[in-house]
Amino acid sequence: MNALSLFLLGAQLAVAALVGTCAGELIRRWVRWEEDLGGPERALVALGGGVAFAVACMVGNVVTGGAIFGLPGAVPALGAVTVYLGRSGLRVRLPRSARDRFALALAVVALGLLYVVPVLVAGSGVRTGDPPWHLGWTEQLLGGEAVPNGPAPEYGRNAYPWGWHAVLATLVRLVPASDPLIAHDSLHVVLVGAIPLAAACLARRVRRDAGWAAAASASVVGGFGWLAAREPAFDPSPRAARFGADLVVASPNSVYELMPPALPRELGLVLLGLTGLLVIRAAVEPERRSAAGAGVALGIVGLVSVPMFVSGLAWTVAAMVMAGRSVRKVLLPVAVAALATFGLWAGPVAANYFRYGGFVDITPSLGKEWPLVQSLSAWGILVPFAIAGLIATRRSGDVARRYVLAFATASAALLASSMLRGALDWNLAGNATVLHQGRTWPPAHLMGAALAGAGAMWAWDWVRRRSRLLAGLGATAVLVAGAASPVLAADAMGEILMDRRAGFIYSAPQYQRNGYLRAAALHLDPDDIVKAYDDAVAFGLFELSGARLSDFDHKRLGVNDLRIRYKDLALRWEARKPFCVTHELITMDRVTPRLEDYEVIEPALETRGLMLIRYPEPTC
């Protein structure tokens, strides 16, 4: 990562923090949240405010036909208005106690060294898989599209939630000269701090001083894989895992969600934690406005990640079951507001579902699902502390604690349902990923970390009353043993990033600002239909410009190469002829049938043996 990219990343973080804090202040005022709101909660509300601002921009983008993200000045103008209206929330609130200030500094250093520095050194934490699609969809928003439809001309009807792309596009528009690749890394930095923050806030509903222990449980407590590895090790594919469910991507331990790249599921998990706080507040202090705020927050979760939305609905239902009759009436608006907000995306998708013959399964194979014993071994010493926290919470008569217990119960029920789905091989009409273990373990681990934080503090108090020395030694031993696996994994991840292995290719020269893919993409926009001498290069042009592809053949997919979600459209794509093209990236040694009819629009590519040409009219 060069100096300019590093500056732009820092600028995105700073401007997003400014706008998010002010938007969060407006939300806090609207839901009348004054009590029980400390520094961690304010930080989490600020993150939620930033996402809510991006969603509001996206709604405006749809209404204006693409003008909000398509015009460079629109989002900064809206951000300036938000900062002005919410400026009262900009007062800096550092932790009061010296212990908390020291813990904050230590956390920033530790998390930065483990999860952020390797990305900055290597240049980019973006990986192949889903991120290339997110890049292209985001570029389509920045190119003036009302919604991101995808790379298939005419047949593109995106059925992926647009919340993630709205956040990426907002970050890019807030900082001129930045791009979605940098925005991905900015969100990675945010999530490294936000996931432990969400666990801390939930733990503070159980025990006020449990925040730091819960944050550590969610971010630096791995499993027992280090006992077998004993050296830097991290497996970027679950099917190649060498140490069970530990030291591997997509682990049941959300510590490994802090590894790059940032994905919608992780942001949805953080927003789920914020939703839990708002649901608890609406239940403890029954008031319809706070319930509506919790519902909107849950709906935004769905706009980012549908599986996390399912978990949020389960949490809300569990809270309603836990509550008395009078509180249930107040919590009912949570579900109503959630469905209304979620409907901003789900409504058009449902209409297209019936219009175009339903969904087709676009997942070639589901990710690995782990046996329960292996999954819990990846939690390591988190398990006994979570059990201790669960027991202590059940014995408590505090109202807020009971709702945390309800959330944990709902997450356990969803996890059990996902295991049953896997055992019975339910397809869920092509939507098996909604109840895949990879989608139900993160909320379970978030709740486990929150309960473990409370359990660790109760254990600390019990031992300290008997021996301060033993309590200190015990805490140190627990932290060292728990952090061993994340330290080994982060070291190995740094090597993977530096070597550009396992799909971490976006620090390669062709993706840089002077690279040939970026140079060609600068001349393309979502209205163009492009063809290239290689399908992978063509898709790279979609990633960096949002342009449509005239044809595409994925080497691993036999049909539906462009992952069209609706059945009728997918069938039309398979039966199509290649589309007429407006632009073509060719090698200079190729002889085209119409040499006299094109214009070379990027002469600099000729030094690389390439030409980007534009046809006066679409050429078939």
Distance of CA 216 to the CA centre of its chain: 20
Domain that holds residue 473: 3-499
Q: What are phi and psi of 283, to 5 degrees?
A: -80, -40
- pTM score, two decimals? 0.95
Q: Give domain status of residue 61, yes or no.
A: yes
Residue 477 token pair? 């031993």
Say whether both 231 and 264 belong to one domain: yes
Say whether both 162 and 289 belong to one domain: yes
Sequence letter at residue 294? A
CB within 8 A of 34, min separation 6: which ones? Answer: none
Domain boundary, last residue among 499, 522, 547? 499
Distance of CA 90 to the CA centre of its chain: 26
Q: Per DSSP, what are the bridge partners of residue 346?
A: none
Check whether 158 has a pLDDT greater than 90.
Answer: no
Residue 306 token pair? 């549908």
* Residues 229-260 pLDDT 10s: 989 999 999 888 999 999 999 999 999 999 99
Closest CA to 452 of 213, 258, 277: 213
Residue 60 is predicted with a pLDDT of 97
Give the C-alpha separation, 597 to 222, whole Å: 61
Residue 535 CB-density burial (10 A; 0-12 exposed, 13-18 middle, 19+ buried): middle
Domain boundary, last residue among 441, 474, 499? 499
Residue 237 token pair? 């594919």
Give the C-alpha separation, 358 to 430, whole Å: 10
Residue 406 is predicted with a pLDDT of 92
* Residues 44-64 pLDDT 10s: 999 999 999 999 999 999 999
Check whether 553 has a pLDDT greater than 80.
Answer: no
Give the C-alpha separation, 570 to 362, whole Å: 10
Longest dimension (CA), the chain: 89
What stretch of H or E contains 404? helix 399-424
- For 300, other C-beta atoms within 10 Å of its C-beta total 25
Say whether both 373 and 448 belong to one domain: yes
| Domain total of the chain | 2
* Residues 256-274 pLDDT 10s: 999 999 999 999 999 999 9
Residue 340 CB-density burial (10 A; 0-12 exposed, 13-18 middle, 19+ buried): middle
Say whether both 536 and 433 belong to one domain: no
Please write down the long-range contacts of 247-252, taking CB distance under 8 Å and 24 or more positions apart.
247/222, 247/223, 247/485, 247/488, 247/489, 247/492, 250/367, 250/368, 250/438, 251/223, 251/378, 251/441, 252/370, 252/375, 252/376, 252/378, 252/379, 252/437, 252/441, 252/444, 252/445
Distances (CA, A) of 555 to 59, 533, 560: 36, 15, 12
Q: Give domain status of residue 30, yes or no.
A: yes
* Residues 96-123 pLDDT 10s: 778 888 888 999 999 999 999 999 999 9
Say whether both 453 and 574 belong to one domain: no
Q: Give domain status of residue 504, yes or no.
A: no
Say whether both 538 and 463 belong to one domain: no
Say whether both 237 and 328 belong to one domain: yes
Percent of the residues in the chain that have a pLDDT greater than 70, as a whole number: 96
Q: What are phi and psi of 110, to 5 degrees?
A: -65, -50
Say whether both 85 and 20 belong to one domain: yes
* Residues 118-154 pLDDT 10s: 999 999 999 998 999 999 999 999 999 999 998 988 7
Say whether both 301 and 224 belong to one domain: yes
Say whether both 576 and 486 belong to one domain: no
Q: What is the mean pLDDT of residues 558-567?
A: 81
Closest CA to 171 of 54, 65, 279, 301: 54
Average pLDDT taken over every residue of the chain? 90
Q: Per DSSP, what are the bridge partners of residue 566?
A: 359
- For 100, other C-beta atoms within 10 Å of its C-beta total 15
Q: Give domain status of residue 190, yes or no.
A: yes
In contact, 542 and 138? CB cutoff 8 Å = no
Query: CA torsion angle for 111, 115, 119, 124 (degrees, to 10)?
Result: -120
Check whether 589 has a pLDDT greater than 80.
Answer: no
- For 338, other C-beta atoms within 10 Å of its C-beta total 25
Residue 575 pLDDT level (bands cut at 50, 70, 90): confident
Domain boundary, last residue among 499, 530, 565? 499
Closest CA to 333 of 320, 323, 344, 350: 320
Give the C-alpha separation, 307 to 568, whole Å: 25
Check whether 359 has a pLDDT greater than 60.
Answer: yes
Query: CA torsion angle for 457, 462, 467, 470 (degrees, to 10)?
Result: -50
Q: What is the mean pLDDT of residues 190-215?
A: 95
Say whether both 551 and 433 belong to one domain: no
- For 413, other C-beta atoms within 10 Å of its C-beta total 15
Residue 508 is predicted with a pLDDT of 92
- DSSP string across 41-80: HHHHHHHHHHHHHHHHHHHHHHHTTSHHHHSTTHHHHHHH
Check whether 438 has a pLDDT greater than 80.
Answer: yes
More confident: 43 or 559? 43
Check whether 463 has a pLDDT greater than 60.
Answer: yes
Instruction: Quickly list H helices, 465-514.
Output: 468-499
Please tell me whether the peptide bond between 616 and the residue prior to it is cis, using omega within 30 degrees of 0: no
Q: What is the mean pLDDT of residues 300-319?
A: 94
Q: Per DSSP, what are the bridge partners of residue 548?
A: 529
Say whether both 46 and 134 belong to one domain: yes
